[in-house]
A = this chain, B = another copy of it.
Amino acid sequence: MSAFQIINKEPDGYARRGRITTAHGVIETPCFMPVGTKATVKGLTPKQLEDEVEAQIVLANTYHLFLRPGHDLIKKLGGVHKFMGWTRPILTDSGGFQVFSLSSLRRIDEEGVTFRSPIDGSSHRLTPESSIAIQEALGADIIMAFDECTPYPATSKQALDSLELTARWAERSKQARKRSDNLLFGIVQGSTFPELRRLSLEKTVAVGFDGYALGGLSVGEGSAAMYDVVNEFGSQMPEASPRYLMGVGTPEDLLIAVDAGLDMFDCVMPTRNARNGMYFTSHGPLSIKQARFSEDPEPIDASCDCYTCRNFSRAYLRHLFMAKEILSSVLATIHNLRFYNQLMAGMRKAISCGEFQQFKGAFLADYKSLG
């Protein structure tokens, strides 16, 4: 039986509701994956992630865990689930994106990438083989092929060279796999060039994976260019496999991408913005530091059922933020992740009822983005 089952499809569109079965449980899609970079979703206990957020799966970063504390240590301690006290599914990325965005002095060759650790300046190397070995040592349920995240902007020639390298690395990633208890996803690159996205998709599908991801987006190309890729290629990715849009995005982005046929998402926005005092609400983002909230007895979002909204006023949350209290980050993270998860749950339900377009329209009519 395939690890992915489609439960419902929108009658006249691409949105679909599905279910991914992993070694650590089932994930209902469309789903959002909170980012737990260093084997912790910043500020939350696994218990809060389960009880308050109801997260189905979290993402951990191979690059960070490879550098510190090291995948061998995590393997020795029983794998990343046991290490971080999280019993539900975990996805690890391949490290490719972080090597390009966070490391200095990187040198890329056909075999892989050499780079310096930002922690202590030491030299390290990642290859498709080592990335897969690290991810399998960590023991994630869903692992990603090692790719080159094409920088933006790139010339058509650069983007072509890059996607061809990614395709060769995709094949090597697949060959490097040793465990059978995980799912391996391939990553489609090609920057904002439709013909190159198409070529990358063909090459990735030709290798054959358990799922497919759109990579290299949300890297500076802007919403319009990102939506173009998502709208053109979301539904062209293999229908029978999970489709993952990496590193995206805002609530609007998620609605548009689900509409285009995507199933899985991750983004630091709900967690990072929470630490900066930005709360997502059904009416749009809200910056709690604004003076107008200083005496406001209302919850962040009256329609939200999260722990934060059930128990605390905007005035208290503003006080915590202004006083630089840790609890500000904790309560905002609980709310934002719950908000994202409730948005995904709402989409799943709407798809089941054949009402996705109405749901999307109603949400966007109420939602005012910042700026």
A residues touching B (Cβ–Cβ < 8 Å)? 38-40, 42-48, 68-69, 73, 76-78, 83-85, 294-295, 297, 307, 311-313, 315-316, 318-320, 322-323, 325-327, 329-331
Task: Give the distance in Å from the alpha carbon of A319 to the alpha carbon of B329 in the complex.
Answer: 20
Evaluate contact between B42 and A326: CB separation under 8 angstroms: yes
- Contact between A319 and B39 (Cβ–Cβ < 8 Å)? yes
A326/B39 contact (C-beta < 8 A), A77-B313, A315-B77 known:
no
Bound form: Cα–Cα A312–B39 in Å: 12
> What 10 pairs between A and B have smallest CB-CB spacing?
A43-B326, A85-B311, A40-B327, A69-B319, A38-B323, A40-B325, A42-B326, A83-B316, A85-B312, A77-B297
**Given A68-B323, A297-B77, is A316 in contact with B85 using a C-beta cutoff of 8 Å?**
yes
Q: Does the CB pair B326–A330 fall under 8 Å?
A: yes
- Complex: A323 Cα to B327 Cα, angstroms: 19
Q: Which residues of B contact A320 (CB under 8 A)?
A: 38, 40
Question: Taking CB as reference atom, which chain B residue is nearest A311?
Answer: B85
Most chain B beta carbons < 10 A, residue from A78, A316, A331:
A316
How far does the Cβ of A158 sit from chain B's closest Cβ, in whole Å?
A: 34
Closest chain B CB from A331 CB (angstroms): 7
Collect the chain B residues with CB atoms within 8 Å of residue A313's CB. 77, 83
Q: How far is the CA of A68 from the CA of B294 in the complex (A)?
A: 11
Contacts of A39 in B (CB 8 A): 316, 319
Query: Which of A73, A307, A325: most chain B CB closer than 10 A?
Result: A325
Q: Are the C-beta atoms of A294 and B73 separated by less than 8 Å?
A: yes
The answer, among B38, B68, B73, B330, for a CB contact under 8 Å with A330, is: B330
Query: A16 to chain B: closest CB distance in Å?
Result: 35
22 chain-A/chain-B pairs, Cβ below 8 angstroms: A38-B325, A40-B320, A40-B327, A42-B325, A44-B327, A45-B48, A45-B327, A45-B330, A46-B311, A47-B307, A68-B322, A69-B294, A69-B315, A69-B318, A77-B313, A77-B316, A83-B315, A83-B316, A85-B311, A85-B312, A326-B326, A326-B330
